[in-house]
Structure 1
Amino acid sequence: MAESGANRYRIRSETNMVDQSSKHETTVQVDFGGEAFLETLNNNDVEVVFINSGTDTFPIQEAAAKYQAEGKRTPKFILCPDETTAVAAAHGYFNATRKPQVVLVHVDAGTLQLSGGLHNAQRGRAGMVLCAGRAPMTFDGEMDGSRSSSIHWTQEQLDQAGSVRNFTKWDYELRRNENVHHVMQRAFQVAASEPPGPVYLMLPREVLMEKMETTQNLPTKRYAPPTTPQADAGQLKAAAEALSQAENPLIIATQSGRNQSSVQAMVELAELVGAPVISESVHLNFPTDHPLWAGITGNQYIENADVILAIDSDVPYIPINAKPNPDAQIIHIDIDPIKQSIPMWVFPTDSLMHADSAKAIPALNEMLTEMLSEADRARIEERIDTIKDRHQRSRDEAVALAQEHGKQDVITPQWLSHCISEAIDDDTVVLDETVTNSGHVSTYIPRSKPGTMYRSGGSSLGWAT
């Protein structure tokens, strides 16, 4: 799933201007907690809820049915036959919209069923608000929603959220309807903040069924995610100087294409310094039909580079396969520079910058444009011509190999990928979950438009289907 047309090239902008009318809380009439929860979704412009329902989610479903019958706005509820389907769909919608998506599952069982899809969302940096029911807290009928089935005992865990805490940025339990608006706004804010990711919220049935008269809606603009950082100017200038004088520069990108405006900026950077670009795309970071695109691994470039610029990369290279030259200067720009959720991240760097690449790369390009002399540009252009010739020969050899495979009795990955490329157009969105055949997909199915290539970012299969 992806945006099309002008929206695909939307450039994210930030402003300090705030609509004064949006600064006030508003009071909304509701009849019970499920409606109060639904109001927070409406207030955050949630369009869809991916749901796998249970005995604990029905107050929200009843609220949505009531709103629909009364002609009120409500998100569309998309029934998912399995929780992994729900989280994968939310992942896709987030990639297309860059807005946190909502998933609703039932208690501990539904939470555990998120499993591999949640891993993909974490590593793919997909913002989503994962909501799960909680076994009712009361069992003598003290409140509406008390336990009414044997499963309400067996589904209660000592720490339900603990099963997903390694994979989420934040977790909480809604305990009172009086602050449902604050709890949900916090959930959306954390999920959307860079680097985005899943958050987890438990919803007790008694709270969702509690009778109410009103609830509050917060001014969402006042609870927006924080602005993202720009790279240190001195470090960025030093990076520009190193790249401008490099004999064998290399760029490695993994997640920069999440900001679609970054793709053109990356092309400009590569052409300014004459650097091949390795891109194992969670998003399309660099056009794979560009003469400077060097594939998804490019081990030979890693070993020979004298200056390496890694951008938003969790694993810039695999040391057992290829290591940079010990004398190479390594620069890393990342919105998540120390990888707190990856216990062992030990890639050496000479400059590790905490920055939004959508801001840092254009600034780096400006510095390079001013810094490069005519002699530098001539030297770089000569290097680009050499790389172009080498890559064109590789492309010609790859096409010839695919066509030769087309004469065989079996369908090989090369021939299949080549045929798919012949059948689709530039706007087709490719979801790549081929794992060991990803190199063939990238080689034979070129993508040039931002938002037309995605991988999950994780390693749990089934995401694309």
Structure 2
Amino acid sequence: MSSESTPVFTASTLLLKALSSAGITHAFVNWGSDHPALLEDLERQRTEARDRENSEGDDTTRPSIVTCPNEMVALSAAQGFAQATGKPAAVIIHVDVGTQALAGAVHNVDRSRTPVLIYAGASAISSDGQAKGSRNEWIMWLQDIPDQSAIVRQYMRHTSQIGSAKTVESSVKRALQIATSSPKGPVYLWARREVMEEEVQREDVDAISGMTGWPSVEPSALTISASTKIAQALLTASSPLIITSHIGRTPAAAASLLSLANLLAIPVISSCPSAVNIPASHPSYIGVTFLAKDTHWEKLDGADLILVIECDLPWIPANEKPAEGTRVFIIDGGDPLHLNVGSWAFEAEMVCRADGGVACQQIEEALIKLGVRPPGEPWSLDSSFDDARMESMVQFRREVLVRNHARVSSDLDKYEKLNIVGRPIRPGERDERRLSYPIRYVVGTLRRAVDQLVVSQGGSVLFLNESISNFPAVWTHLRPEVPGSVISSGGSSLGWALGAAVGASLGAKTLGVNGDSDKKGYNLVVAIVGDGSYMFGVPSSAYWMARRYNTPFLTIVLNNGGWNSPRLSMIGVTPAGYGRSTRGDQLTVGFGPDAPDYSQIAVAASSGWAWGARAGGPGGLPQTGQFSVDSIDTQFKELIEKAVRVVVEEKRCAVVDCALELI
């Protein structure tokens, strides 16, 4: 359309205006035959912007469009965007097939309680030219199914069809109101093609307003009786424990948890964490667990009170569980009964729907009213409590936590030292001296390099952890301090990290970290992935997007030669079975002996913009004679430091393919 043409406005104009007016700044899109009116209106926006400013450019649309060659990467990017900023993004995809191609990202965005608005077009209902946008391509008959939203409904907080131009604005606002209310999560809107081609007047477009009048539901709180009861129970418990998974998704809530834990010297364990819930340097931090047998807190069965707060799963009864009679209190801001999980049953004395951060503040306030005081101040409990005994009990716990924390920190330092052992060739391998690195060493070396080159210079870092079978080691040896500095998908569908790194980087530099406009962007984004999750992440799309939208990040591929998690599941059920010592490729969970060169996939996808290197693997050790552990250590450290500098200084993606022991 030329600048002299009269613009045509449609229901698609209203959709784009409603999204941007509601605060959606970015839409991650994968276009199809159901989107002609959207594409047309975006070009109208660009044309009008050029006419007004007498300038060229294609970044003038509202919302900004992020082209995504793969739908799962699009939704993962939108999830990462929202996780980094605290603000929802939009995803636009194509009919039933595009909805299906969202794939496992739908599971992740649901389980992580991340607000994302998904819009999908649909084939026109008319086929005789009765309306603009009627069916005129053969594929539209094949892409029309009876209930398109049923594909994703059980994962959505809300699904709705836009029936006419008149309902576009209210549909968007209601969807976003639901998506941003606890339990936050994805919503799905869809509309027929001719509905989105319906013409409207400019005044209809101008009439669209923001979200005023459509607020998110305010965070819920404990009742006074509940906060008092929990406070009294914590005060009188001799061995209390707090278990959480994701209270740290909100930094203020993490601070409230830390304050409560510090007041009574309560240990805190992160069960299947998807956020940094408590600083690793704090004495109350007793680690992470992914609930494999004998990996929970060593004193779980000795706890006499457990506060389960914002937690996906506190323990697995078949592996480890509290002793009979342990008092259990469950608090969750959106879904304390986990209604969207098929089976979730844990007995408790009290179950409360209350925001984790608000609840921690209330419990601490109740403790203060009871006479509890911060460390160093004398307590003033009433006569129904034994001041001296309880204060002494808390002080004893505090001393034990400090001693144990110092011991654990010292042990971690030892574990992170390089220990290389060459081994003979195994059947199917082509090199007699394969160099592999211990996972603890890899993560420790990465952390120290990032601390030296970025954190010590005042820079901010975001780690995205999708290491799967190495989850516990990565969380433990990153030793995170700052809430929001490490995140994961919150679910179990692989392929989140690469797209999420693009979205998180884009969101942070646009809106600020956690929505703080004074903290624009991260100095470094690091995705730590297994070789399996790397392939699931569609690197051919993710690294193209990273270059296109200038979102460089470092990828550390923990390459153990395949999918270790299915093998571990097999061993967990049949520990002495045939498969325990079977090679991964023979077991059909391995990618060897000729595995992909993961770093060069990124280089190719970005037309040479990304930088990549392998660390270890076949030929990594001398064929004959001795080798120096110190020289191997130095080479690896220099490689990691170079990769960090490529991202931080050269503003390019870097990928380091790190060889671990093969499965």
Q: With the length of structure 1 as denominator, give the TM-score of the two structures.
A: 0.90
Contact 2:238–2:393 under 8 Å retained in 1: no
Instruction: Give the C-alpha shift of residue 390 in structure 1.
Output: 1.7
Letter in 2 for 1:128: V
User: Which entry has the higher C-alpha Rg, 1 or 2?
Assistant: 2
Instruction: Give the C-alpha shift of residue 62 in structure 1.
Output: 2.0
Distance in 2, matches of 1:450 and 1:221, equals 30
Instruction: Give the C-alpha shift of residue 219 in structure 1.
Output: 4.8
Match of 1:176 among 164, 168, 172: 164
Match of 2:11 among 22, 28, 33: 33
Corresponding residue for residue 241 of structure 1: 232
Matched-pair identity in %: 30
Can you list the C-alpha shifts for 1:255-293, whole angstroms capped at 9, x where unaligned?
Answer: 211221011211111111211111132121111232221
Instruction: Give the C-alpha shift of residue 218 in structure 1.
Output: 4.1
Give unpaired runs (5+ residues) of structure 2: 1-6, 50-59, 290-295, 373-378, 380-386, 423-434, 499-663
- Quickly say closer, same or farther: Cα 1:326–1:79, change in 2 above 3 A: same
Corresponding residue for residue 397 of structure 2: 383
Segment drifting more, 417-426 vs 122-131: 417-426
Pairing 1:331–2:345 present: no
Give unpaired runs (5+ residues) of structure 1: 1-28
Letter in 1 for 2:361: P
Contact 1:272–1:369 under 8 Å retained in 2: no
- Secondary structure of 1:343's counterpart equals coil
Contact 2:23–2:210 under 8 Å retained in 1: no
Contact 1:42–1:73 under 8 Å retained in 2: no
Letter in 1 for 2:314: P
Match of 2:480 among 419, 423, 447: 447
Corresponding residue for residue 244 of structure 2: 253
Distance in 2, matches of 1:377 and 1:367, equals 16
Pairing 1:43–2:43 present: no
Match of 2:464 among 431, 447, 461: 431
Can you list the C-alpha shifts for 1:381-439, whole angstroms capped at 9, x where unaligned?
Answer: 22121122123212212221220436874212111111111111353111111122111
Segment drifting more, 198-207 vs 376-385: 376-385
Corresponding residue for residue 19 of structure 1: none
Letter in 1 for 2:166: E
Instruction: Give the C-alpha shift of residue 149 in structure 1.
Output: 1.1
Letter in 2 for 1:43: S
- Aligned pairs for 1:365-376 (under 5 A) are 365-371=364-370, 372=372, 373=379, 375=388, 376=390
Contact 1:406–1:415 under 8 Å retained in 2: no
Corresponding residue for residue 13 of structure 1: none
- Quickly say closer, same or farther: Cα 1:398–1:140, change in 2 above 3 A: same
Corresponding residue for residue 351 of structure 1: 350
Match of 2:442 among 416, 419, 431: 416
Distance in 1, matches of 2:118 and 2:15, equals 13
Distance in 1, matches of 2:209 and 2:278, equals 39
Corresponding residue for residue 650 of structure 2: none
Corresponding residue for residue 276 of structure 2: 284
Distance in 2, matches of 1:369 and 1:65, equals 60
Corresponding residue for residue 393 of structure 1: 407
Can you list the C-alpha shifts for 1:216-269, whole angstroms capped at 9, x where unaligned?
Answer: 424512011111211111111111111112111100111211221011211111
- Aligned pairs for 1:8-407 (under 5 A) are 31-71=9-49, 74-213=62-201, 214-215=203-204, 216-279=207-270, 280-297=272-289, 298-335=296-333, 336-371=335-370, 372=372, 373=379, 375=388, 376-405=390-419
Distance in 1, matches of 2:210 and 2:418, equals 61
- Secondary structure of 2:408's counterpart equals helix
Instruction: Give the C-alpha shift of residue 30 in structure 1.
Output: 6.5
Letter in 2 for 1:177: A
Contact 1:231–1:353 under 8 Å retained in 2: yes
Can you list the C-alpha shifts for 1:17-69, whole angstroms capped at 9, x where unaligned?
Answer: xxxxxxxxxxxx97112111111012112110000111112321221221122
Distance in 1, matches of 2:440 and 2:117, equals 39
- Secondary structure of 1:365's counterpart equals helix
Structure 1 residue ranges, 4+ long, deviating more than 6 angstroms after superposition: none
| TM-align CA RMSD | 1.7
Contact 2:26–2:64 under 8 Å retained in 1: yes
Contact 2:108–2:493 under 8 Å retained in 1: yes
- Secondary structure of 1:322's counterpart equals coil
Distance in 1, matches of 2:211 and 2:222, equals 28
- Quickly say closer, same or farther: Cα 1:118–1:53, change in 2 above 3 A: same
- Secondary structure of 1:442's counterpart equals helix
Instruction: Give the C-alpha shift of residue 308 in structure 1.
Output: 0.3
Can you list the C-alpha shifts for 1:176-224, whole angstroms capped at 9, x where unaligned?
Answer: 1011111111111111111101111112111111111142424512011
Segment drifting more, 258-267 vs 372-381: 372-381
Distance in 2, matches of 1:405 and 1:50, equals 44
- Secondary structure of 1:300's counterpart equals coil
Contact 1:130–1:201 under 8 Å retained in 2: yes
Instruction: Give the C-alpha shift of residue 449 in structure 1.
Output: 1.2
Instruction: Give the C-alpha shift of residue 451 in structure 1.
Output: 1.1
Can you list the C-alpha shifts for 1:358-377, whole angstroms capped at 9, x where unaligned?
Answer: 21111111222333236333
Q: With the length of structure 2 as denominator, give the TM-score of the two structures.
A: 0.64
Distance in 1, matches of 2:146 and 2:280, equals 49
| Greater RCO (Cα-Cα under 8 Å, separation 6 or more) | 1
Distance in 2, matches of 1:461 and 1:178, equals 39
